[in-house]
Structure 1
Amino acid sequence: MIFFQLLVVLVSGLLCLSLQCQDEVFTNDLKYTSCEEILTKFPDTPSGYYVLADSAEKVYCDMENKRCGSQGWTRVAYVNMSSEMSKCPGNFNLYKTPISSCGGNKDGGCAVAHFSTHGITYSQVCGRVVGYQVGRPNAFSPYTRRSANLDNMMDGILISHGETREHVWAYVTGFQRMPTKENDNYCPCASNMFNGIVPAFIGNDYYCDSGVDDSPSKGMFYTDPLWIGKGCKPPNFCCSSASLPWFCKTLADPTNDDIEIRNCHNQQNENEDTAVQLIELYVH
């Protein structure tokens, strides 16, 4: 009888890794530590929700994702405000209209959200963010003009890991797509009129975009999506990356740190903000 019960548990677990159980929880008593480990042991495992050893909740595994040259990614953050059931993460501020989305602090500074990586040791982070320009954000101007204040270094989304906020990626919101004079408010890729400073620790690990061609108005919500690889034209090269809005970052050292996402702007959001509609992050 005991042998028969063990056999049933084993068969149930294997069936839940088949195409017939794509969105069900892996119920085998032997839990795995990551989606990558499941895929290594069961190469035909489909994408779906599984229970990992260090997670009490269902975790989504993307088994087909090849954006970074590998498969078996564990999703650690998913916010999709186009779904009626979604809520803004952390202390992000809810925009109900014209598009349901999540902005920063009303008084300026950074809204913060933390996402568990379920104890997984990872060396790569893959993800995407889609958002909208509100008012008159200034790209890297806050850092250029007040570089000592690292909590107000840019307008947009800053992704990091660990207590020391090791940089992963940034989604930066610039003033306007088509600059008219030299200024530090523009995206560096918008034209040769950018005269600001990109923080050294960010380097090239960022995307920058604007949602309006001409000078924006304070508090106006612009419904042209940011960082999707469309809407800009030469001499603006902010849309030149074929991978937009996705990024893939290989870290200097493996870690099991949780992920922090900050939505920052240095003025009150009746003047400027970045409203995020979609956040999707995976580790491997």
Structure 2
Amino acid sequence: MLLFQLLVVLASGLLCLSQKCQNEVYTNDLKYTSCKEILTKFPDTPSGYYALADYTEKVYCDMENKRCGSLGWTRVAYVNMSSETSSCPGDLKLNENPKRYCGGITNMCVKAKFSTHGITYSQVCGRMIGYQIGNPNGFGPYINDQRRLDHVLDGVLISHGDKREHIWAYVVGSLRVPTTAGGGYCPCASYQFDGVVPPFIGNDYYCDSGVDSKPTAGKFYPDPLWIGEGCTPPNFCCSLASMPWFCKTLANPTDDDIEIYNCNNESSEDIGLELIELYVH
């Protein structure tokens, strides 16, 4: 009887070696290049930090939240300015009064690049949370000069590659519920919007405002942007259930790095970013 039990155990072990065991656990083997690869090989792997090829430090893998219908997301950017140890990426500028955030530079787009470390991906998801400073005017810059494709909005553009292929935009309109017609508001803030959303952006954007009435130049407004709360009817741009998370499936797979551009076009305005979080799959 004991001999039979021993043979069963040995047979089970051999079967586990020849097939994938259900409780097999990833042990930071550097031959895997993405979180998706790990989850495919080890489907019970929980979210957490893991060693990947081509990364000098462990990377956070989101294994449990299904976004774009997929699991196994590799985080390529995480900036949380509510932490005193966080610094602003790229050329974004640190501001600490009245709140820590990463801002831009007057009348230009300021860039930060995040490496994907050669991972080939076809989906991007992420979130941003920010604040309105002064009087940003939505897609106003594009309306004023449609030749300036490097500055088409007041807000944040997310893109990939040398041709700056569009991924998503976080736009800031001047106020939530306009009382006069104009192009500086969020397109669905009311029937008053008479501007143009750049064709290459299409519907791949969120738009929000941090103030109900006419904003004051240079003033910081503490109502967080793009979180899906605080909307005033008939403004429905900022009440989407998916906010602040976006999800984008690209037309073609790529291994491009991802860039963000924090843009404003006046000296009395800015977009203050408190949280930047981006994943690829």
TM-score (norm 1): 0.89
Letter in 2 for 1:280: E
Alignment gaps of 5+ in structure 2: 1-20
Letter in 1 for 2:122: S
Residue from 267, 270, 273 that aligns with 2:270? 273
Q: CA deviation at 1:235?
A: 1.1
- In the alignment, does 2:62 pair up with 1:65? no
The whole-number CA distance in structure 2 between the counterparts of 1:97 and 1:48 is 33
Secondary structure at 2:36 match in 1: helix
- In the alignment, does 2:157 pair up with 1:158? yes
Counterpart in the other structure of 1:47: 47
Taking the TM superposition and a 5 Å limit, the aligned residue runs for 1:237-252 are 237-252=236-251
Counterpart in the other structure of 2:126: 127
Counterpart in the other structure of 2:7: none
Q: CA deviation at 1:233?
A: 2.4
Counterpart in the other structure of 2:280: 283
Secondary structure at 1:175 match in 2: coil
Q: Encode CA deviations 1:228-260: one digit per residue, 9 max, x unaligned.
A: 011112211113311000000000000000000
The whole-number CA distance in structure 2 between the counterparts of 1:27 and 1:37 is 12
The whole-number CA distance in structure 1 between the counterparts of 2:211 and 2:137 is 13
Secondary structure at 1:222 match in 2: strand
Q: CA deviation at 1:67?
A: 2.6
Q: Encode CA deviations 1:79-113: one digit per residue, 9 max, x unaligned.
A: 000111100011111110211110111x3201100
Greater shift in the superposed pair: 190-199 or 92-101: 92-101
The whole-number CA distance in structure 1 between the counterparts of 2:66 and 2:251 is 21
Are the equivalent residues in 2 in contact too, given 1:31–1:51 (CA < 8 A)? no
Counterpart in the other structure of 1:94: 94
Alignment gaps of 5+ in structure 1: 1-13
- In the alignment, does 2:29 pair up with 1:32? no
Counterpart in the other structure of 1:8: none
Taking the TM superposition and a 5 Å limit, the aligned residue runs for 1:166-177 are 166-177=165-176
Letter in 1 for 2:144: R
Counterpart in the other structure of 1:181: 180
Secondary structure at 1:224 match in 2: strand
The whole-number CA distance in structure 2 between the counterparts of 1:94 and 1:53 is 32
Are the equivalent residues in 1 in contact too, given 2:28–2:52 (CA < 8 A)? no
Letter in 1 for 2:45: T
Q: CA deviation at 1:61?
A: 0.6
Greater shift in the superposed pair: 187-196 or 56-65: 56-65
Q: CA deviation at 1:38?
A: 0.3
Secondary structure at 2:221 match in 1: coil
Percentage of identical aligned residues: 68
CA RMSD of aligned residues (A): 1.6
TM-score (norm 2): 0.90
Q: Encode CA deviations 1:153-186: one digit per residue, 9 max, x unaligned.
A: 1000100000100000000000000101000110
Counterpart in the other structure of 2:6: none
- In the alignment, does 2:209 pair up with 1:210? yes
- In the alignment, does 2:214 pair up with 1:200? no
Count of equivalent residues: 260
Letter in 2 for 1:195: D
The whole-number CA distance in structure 2 between the counterparts of 1:241 and 1:177 is 15
Q: CA deviation at 1:219?
A: 0.4
Q: CA deviation at 1:51?
A: 1.6
Secondary structure at 2:37 match in 1: helix
The whole-number CA distance in structure 2 between the counterparts of 1:27 and 1:249 is 29
